[in-house]
């Protein structure tokens, strides 16, 4: 396969592949070994989904997970879990955050945790109306987390990564207008103190990633040895029956040329055992959480399944050889 060279792309306009075309390309590749579901306890029968990849603090390994009643909407919590004999249980003495779809990253010596925060916006028309935004917490460890900023109203999936130039790369996901269901933008900031709505809204959109009527977003970032950024995310569309289809995807972003390699699907819901779904329309959903990359060219993808469960699967490292 010819290597992607961002210098050849410059800012050339091209028509991005649709989800159906990307899925067709994915299915031509060597089939993945079946994924597996993660088992949880200590959550009183609530669902755990949209997990992070495992991360380590000191000598302990955790994952974050969205915990929610099957019938609930906008009443989620993010809890931190530890594994024992194949079962993930809530970790003692760690906080529970009123968020959806938690994520975790390190910026310098700081632990940054975030997720989608649903909050009331009382209006005369609807005093119970709500909106959402991305909230960010920071600390030395899980027990010292303090909320320090929020993103713009109605923007999910904002992600950060430390860069080799000592700046912070910020990927954004504006919706509405020309951005439709969601496009991906990028901006660099000097420090966490510069992470605010104004700067986030000034991010430059990465063009030509999603076909008209489709959308996507970033879920986890990996700084690569050559300074480019490996982006793990999701790509989605809604069919004529109203069912949503979400796939795990990846691309590599070049910060110097503001271009990305073509989006590729790397896993689908069919790669995991059948299971429950929150609603029938969410049956075909896989929501990327994180990657654990291995030196042998493989990686373990952690993901939410059908808005009701969580799983992991071994895949080829999507950031090698491109």
Residue-wise pLDDT for 87-113, tens only, equals 999 999 899 999 999 999 999 999 999
Q: What is the mean pLDDT of the chain?
A: 93
**pLDDT tens-digit readout, 278-306:** 999 999 999 999 999 999 999 999 999 99
**Percent of the chain residues topping a pLDDT of 70:** 95
Tell which wins on pLDDT, 75 or 10.
75
Q: Which fold has domain 6-316?
A: Tachylectin-2; Chain A (2.115.10)
Cα–Cα distance for residue pair 185/173, rounded to 1 Å? 6
Neighbouring residues of 262: CB distance < 8 A, sequence distance ≥ 6: 4, 16, 17, 251
In the chain, where the domains are located: 6-316
Query: Cα-flanking dihedrals φ and ψ of residue 72, to 5°?
Result: -80, 150
pLDDT-wise least confident of 119-128, 207-216, 229-238: 119-128
CA atoms within 13 A on the CB side of 169: 25
Q: Of 167, 178, 263, 283, nearest to 218 (Cα)?
A: 263
Q: Are 99 and 118 a contacting pair, CB within 8 Å?
A: no
**Residue 169's pLDDT band (boundaries 50, 70, 90)?**
very high
For CA atoms 211, 135, 83, 231, the dihedral sign is positive
- Whether 211 shows a pLDDT value over 90: the answer reads yes
**pLDDT tens-digit readout, 33-72:** 999 999 999 999 999 999 999 999 999 999 999 999 998 7
Q: What is the pTM of this model?
A: 0.93
């Amino acid at each position: 396969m010819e290597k992607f060279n961002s210098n050849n792309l410059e800012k050339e306009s091209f028509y991005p592949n649709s989800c159906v075309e990307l899925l067709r390309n994915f299915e031509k590749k060597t089939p993945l070994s079946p994924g597996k579901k993660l088992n949880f306890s200590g959550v009183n029968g609530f669902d755990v989904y949209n997990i992070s990849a495992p991360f380590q603090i000191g000598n302990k390994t955790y994952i974050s997970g969205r915990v929610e009643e099957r019938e609930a909407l906008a009443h989620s919590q993010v809890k931190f879990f530890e594994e024992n004999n194949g079962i993930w249980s809530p970790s003692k003495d760690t906080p529970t955050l009123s968020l959806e779809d938690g994520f975790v990253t390190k910026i310098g010596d700081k632990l940054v945790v975030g997720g989608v925060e649903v909050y009331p916006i009382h209006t005369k028309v609807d005093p119970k109306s709500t909106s959402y935004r991305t909230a960010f917490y920071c600390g030395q460890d899980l027990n010292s987390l303090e909320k320090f900023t929020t993103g713009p109203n109605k923007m999910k999936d904002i992600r950060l990564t430390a860069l080799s130039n000592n700046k912070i790369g910020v990927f954004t996901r504006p919706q509405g207008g020309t951005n439709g269901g969601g496009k991906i933008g990028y901006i660099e900031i000097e420090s966490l103190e510069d992470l605010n709505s104004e700067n986030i809204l000034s991010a430059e959109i990465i063009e030509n990633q999603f076909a008209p009527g489709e959308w996507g977003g970033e879920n986890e970032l990996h700084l690569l040895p050559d300074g480019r950024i490996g982006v793990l995310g999701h790509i989605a569309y809604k069919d004529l029956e109203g069912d949503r289809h979400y796939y795990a995807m990846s691309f590599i972003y070049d910060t110097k040329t503001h271009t990305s390699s073509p989006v590729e699907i790397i896993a689908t819901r069919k790669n995991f055992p059948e299971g429950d779904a929150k609603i029938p329309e969410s049956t075909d959903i896989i929501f990327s959480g994180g990657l654990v990359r291995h030196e042998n060219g493989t990686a373990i993808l952690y993901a939410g399944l059908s808005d009701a469960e969580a799983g992991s699967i071994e895949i080829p490292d999507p950031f090698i050889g491109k």
